Amino acid sequence: MTEIERTEVHRIPAAPARTASYEADPNEVGRVLLLYSGGLDTSVMLKWIQDEYGAEVVCLTVNLGQPGEDYDVVKGKALQLGAIDCHVVDAREQFAQEFLVPAIKANAVYGNGYPLFTALGRPLIAQLAVDYARQSGCDTIAHGCTGKGNDQVRIETTIATLAPELKVIAPVRSWQMGREEEIAYAREHGIPVKGGTEVAPYSIDDNLWGRSSEGRWIEDLSHAPEDDVFQLVTRPEEAPDEAEVVTVSFEAGVPVALNGERLGLVELLERVAEIGCRHGVGIIDHIEDRIVGLKVRDIYEVPAAAIVLAAHLELEKLVGTIHQNQFKPALDQKWGYLVYAGLWWEPLRTDLDAYMDAVNAQVTGTIGLKLFKGSVRVVTRESPNAVYDATLASFAESGGLFSQTASPGFIELWSLQSRLAHQLRNRV
Ligand code: ARG
């Protein structure tokens, strides 16, 4: 080892080991932008960061359409717990236009059922954290994700990608307090703890596009869902006995009208969700392969996504050729996986978007869906771009572009290789 290398080595401060370059050095944390929900974890963090790092904390609370949230209360709580400021940002419109529209165009679903609402929300939340951290003179961003989930990957990937100058702390991942200790800490530090403390609540995440519950009995794979988990969607057995038909209209792949009424996207999605909730639509009991290796069970309630994605897929199939329709699902799946895996900023995602946009240029029309006790079934389809000709498809009509007498010739050539191969394999 040379003299220079040796002095370098000795200069490393006695701080806790940092694994990644973007993790904060505790000695260099001056002002922290905290992603604040108002819940137990982030409220404890708000105090803990002030005590542990001697740092100032600016809070950011992002509204992505999570129902039943009182942002004045959240902000009041942040200020009361010592935040020097608390920004509440209504990002519903941006979330819908910049994240949900591409997701709809890509029929985005992960693992055969999860419409990615959390995965789509995280890059936006982290992007806003970067903006507000810069505006508020923060050097560090803090979030409340655990070390076991995908959300830490999505948030830290975004920060490290967009703002290499900012550092990250993830106290829940390192402080090793369990729920009991967090409650004790909260009590000691005058942090209000809402609800009873006997039963741990489900771990909830929600926005315009859906809601997830994790924890408690959900971790027991043999345990069927208990009724109290469904806070959004009516249980199908309690849904109305009368079916309801809704129509969703699209222009170039974007939902623009509900039952013939033109609506802004946020309002449209909120109204679709309401109707879906009433009919018990969009309950998904899902085992998921997380990016961080674990398999985890989630209970999802996705009333808006269940209806809008079903309508979009149907319309897309109607306007696409057989070749497009066979090809696109593979790209849809890749798109969904990139987003699930926290790689929203990966150029391949935007490359794929170019393809999605090209296909969706034709996706204009209206799909009718019948909702009944948890089921969604397409019943009507209309599009000026449908690759469909009623006279060709009709049993009664003939002639025109389609000559039935040409069919045997086609069949002879179409089946040629398969016939030869079959005969070769069966010769005696
Ligand atoms: N399993 C889903 C995902 O990885 C939902 C995660 C919900 N996040 C939460 N913090 N509760 O996207």
- The predicted-structure confidence for 323-349, as pLDDT tens digits, reads as follows 999 999 999 999 999 999 999 999 999
Give a yes or no: residue 157 inside a domain: yes
- Alpha carbon of 146 to ligand 1 centroid (Å): 11
- Both 13 and 47 in one domain: the answer is yes
What is the C-alpha to C-alpha distance for residues 57 and 47, in angstroms, rounded to an integer? 9
Query: Which structure tokens are listed for 420?
Result: 């030869």
The three-state (H, E, C) secondary structure of 290-337, written as one string: CCCCCEEEEEEECHHHHHHHHHHHHHHHHHCCHHHHHHHHHHHHHHHH
Average pLDDT over residues 271-280: 98
- Both 210 and 67 in one domain: the answer is no
- Both 86 and 175 in one domain: the answer is yes
> What residue ranges line ligand 1, CB within 6 angstroms?
118-119, 149-151, 203, 205, 212, 214, 288, 298
- Both 265 and 285 in one domain: the answer is yes
- Type of residue found at 350: T
pTM comes to 0.94
pLDDT at residue 141 above 70? yes
Cβ neighbourhood burial of 82 (10 Å; 0-12, 13-18, 19+):
middle
Name the residue with higher pLDDT: 337 or 14: 337
| Residue 186 near residue 97 (C-beta atoms within 8 A) | no
- Both 307 and 411 in one domain: the answer is no
- Both 121 and 239 in one domain: the answer is no
- Alpha carbon of 116 to ligand 1 centroid (Å): 9
- Alpha carbon of 152 to ligand 1 centroid (Å): 10
- Both 149 and 37 in one domain: the answer is yes
Give a yes or no: residue 24 inside a domain: yes
Give a yes or no: residue 329 inside a domain: no
Query: Which of 35, 114, 212, 339 gets mutated to test ligand 1 (max ligand atoms within 8 A of its CB)?
Result: 212
Give a yes or no: residue 58 inside a domain: yes
- Read off the pLDDT band of 6 (50, 70, 90): very low
Give a yes or no: residue 48 inside a domain: yes
Catalytic residues: 41, 122, 151, 203
Residue 162 sits in a domain whose CATH number is 3.40.50.620
- Helix (H), strand (E) at residue 416: helix 416-425
Residue 222 is predicted with a pLDDT of: 98
Closest residue CA from atom 6 of ligand 1: 118
Domain count, the chain: 3
Give a yes or no: residue 72 inside a domain: yes
Name the residue with higher pLDDT: 18 or 210: 210
For the chain, what percent of residues have pLDDT higher than 70? 94
Average pLDDT over residues 363-382: 98
- Alpha carbon of 300 to ligand 1 centroid (Å): 10
- Read off the pLDDT band of 352 (50, 70, 90): very high
Closest residue CA from atom 1 of ligand 1: 298
Pairing label, strands 365-372, 244-251:
antiparallel
- Both 154 and 230 in one domain: the answer is no
- Residues of the domain holding 408: 390-425
Residue 13 is predicted with a pLDDT of: 45
- Both 284 and 160 in one domain: the answer is no
DSSP secondary structure code for residue 59 in this structure: E
